[in-house]
């Protein structure tokens, strides 16, 4: 491949001058010389080597996106929002799947550091991840937290308000007359799971009822977890008219088990989800859920990260988006 030296030689100028035109420095080069250099560059199909440039500028124009699993339908939209936005500002994105495993998180943080990415967007399901966050802070790597809230102060991040979303959907269920409501929670160690559960409890409590602990089961935010939790719930033999699930995927799993056990949805049992992944509007009955603006979250986090990297002023370090109740057909009024 041609290098800046080749161009310089062939255009009869110094590499400095070539560098000037590569970097579109408006002044310092005569139009004539510029044209000549541009032509040589074109003829040789020259591409400046960003690795070499990065070595001196300390910028790679590359971001790291650390998330649990791109195959989980919650994340592709986010990733798309991140990549699109990064692209607009001239950055690329390295994708990292951690499966929520601390060892993989650490591994990726290390190689992203070694590769000198300019910043990292971090979505972790585990808490405390303070170790890894500290790692990032120690090496002064700009980063933005996404979706999964950390119990540390003032870290830049974009979240959606799980408490509020769950409060809304639970209120809705209550207004529809439901009193015996089961809850399929997310993993105990996940902060989002905690926020959502708190929102559920708050709504129930506010209406003068209390949560029946026997009707609360933990899941893993996946379809399998929803199935297992629902199986346990049914096994207990306690009656309930509705199930609130901490995310859509578990709701889908729960629905399947419910149906296998002869329950009709929503005639016999109402169900709600959380996230509003694409799937939820496609299954039958269409799932009533809480929408998180995934694409927008990815985009906002990226914009925030780039501001951080480029040292621009930020309006706010912590953006909390209000999720929206999406009413479809999985909830029936009871009297």
Interacting residues with a second copy (CB under 8 A): 1, 45, 47-52, 54-55, 60, 62, 65, 69-73, 75-77, 79-80, 83-84, 87, 92-97, 110-111, 113-116, 138-139, 223, 252, 256, 278-279, 282-284, 295
Among DNA, a second copy, none, residue 83 binds (CB under 5-8 Å by kind): a second copy
Helix axes 223-236, 248-260, angle to 10 degrees: 50
Residue from 35, 39, 57, 189 that binds DNA (CB under 7 A)? 57
Binds DNA by CB under 7 A, chosen from 28, 102, 177, 205: 28
Among 19, 61, 72, 231, the residue binding DNA under the rule CB under 7 A is 19
* Residue 140 found at the interface with DNA (CB under 7 A): no
Find the shortest distance in angstroms from Cβ 3 to DNA: 3
Longest dimension (CA), the chain: 88
Count of C-beta atoms within a 10 Å radius of residue 2: 16
How many whole angstroms separate alpha carbon 44 and alpha carbon 38?
10
Residues 272, 244 contacting (CB under 8 angstroms): yes
Of the pair 67, 112, the CB lying nearest DNA is at 112
Q: Which is nearer to a second copy, 184 or 216 (CB)?
A: 184
From DNA, a second copy, none, interface partner of 97 (C-beta below 5 to 8 A by class): a second copy
Among 49, 87, 130, 278, which residue sits at the site for DNA (rule: CB under 7 A)?
Answer: 49
Please report how close the Cβ of residue 105 comes to a second copy at its closest, in angstroms.
13
Q: How far is the CB of 69 from a second copy (least distance, A)?
A: 7
60 binds DNA (CB under 7 A): no
Give dist(CA 150, CA 125) in Å, integer.
10
Residue 289 engages DNA in binding (rule: CB under 7 A): no
- Closest to DNA by CB, 56 vs 313, is 56
Residue 3 within binding range of DNA, rule CB under 7 A: yes
24 binds DNA (CB under 7 A): no
How crowded is the C-beta side of 284, counted as CA atoms within 13 Å? 0
Q: How far is the CB of 120 from a second copy (least distance, A)?
A: 13
In the list 52, 107, 207, 327, the residue contacting DNA (rule: CB under 7 A) is 52
77 interacts with, out of DNA, a second copy, none, CB within 5 to 8 A per kind: a second copy
| 45 is an interface residue for DNA by CB under 7 A | no
What count of Cα atoms within 13 Å lies in the side-chain half-sphere of residue 48? 14
Contact segment (CB under 7 A) with DNA among 50-58, 88-96, 262-270, 326-334 equals 50-58
Taking Cα atoms as reference points, which of 220, 205, 211, 278 lies closest to residue 250? Answer: 220
Q: Give min distance, CB of 210 to DNA, in A.
A: 58
Stretch that binds DNA, among 48-56, 69-77, 123-131, 256-264 (CB under 7 A): 48-56
CB of 94 to DNA, least distance (A): 19
Interface residues with DNA (CB under 7 A) are 1, 3-5, 12-17, 19-20, 22-23, 27-30, 32-34, 46-49, 52-53, 55-57
């Amino acid at each position: 491949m041609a290098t800046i030296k080749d161009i310089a030689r062939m255009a009869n100028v110094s590499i400095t001058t070539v560098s000037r035109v590569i970097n579109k420095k408006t002044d310092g080069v005569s139009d004539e010389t510029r044209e000549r250099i541009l032509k040589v560059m074109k003829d040789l199909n020259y591409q400046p080597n960003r690795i070499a440039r990065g070595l001196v500028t300390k910028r790679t124009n590359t971001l790291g996106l650390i998330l649990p699993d791109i195959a989980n339908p919650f994340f592709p939209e986010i990733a798309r929002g991140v990549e699109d936005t990064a692209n607009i500002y001239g950055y690329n994105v390295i994708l990292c799947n951690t499966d929520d495993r601390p060892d993989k998180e650490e591994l990726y943080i290390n190689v992203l550091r070694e590769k000198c990415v300019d910043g990292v967007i971090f979505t972790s399901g585990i808490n405390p991840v303070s170790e890894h966050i500290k790692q990032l802070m120690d090496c002064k790597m700009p980063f933005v937290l996404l979706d999964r809230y950390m119990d540390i102060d003032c870290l830049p991040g974009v979240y959606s308000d799980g408490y509020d979303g769950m409060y809304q959907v639970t209120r809705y269920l209550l207004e529809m007359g439901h009193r015996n409501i089961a809850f399929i929670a997310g993993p105990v160690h996940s902060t989002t799971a905690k926020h959502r559960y708190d929102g559920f409890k708050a709504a129930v409590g506010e209406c003068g009822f209390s949560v029946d602990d026997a009707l609360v089961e933990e899941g893993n935010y996946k379809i399998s977890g929803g199935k297992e939790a629902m199986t346990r719930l049914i096994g207990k033999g306690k009656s309930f008219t509705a199930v609130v699930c901490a995310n859509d995927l578990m709701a889908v799993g729960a629905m399947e088990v419910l149906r296998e056990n002869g329950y009709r949805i929503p005639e016999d049992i109402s169900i709600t989800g959380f996230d509003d992944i694409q799937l939820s509007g496609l299954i039958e009955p269409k799932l009533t859920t809480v929408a998180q603006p995934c694409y927008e979250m990815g985009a906002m986090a990226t914009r925030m990260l780039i501001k951080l990297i480029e040292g621009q002023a930020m309006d706010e370090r912590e953006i909390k988006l209000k999720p929206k109740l999406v009413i479809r057909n999985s909830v029936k009024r009871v009297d």
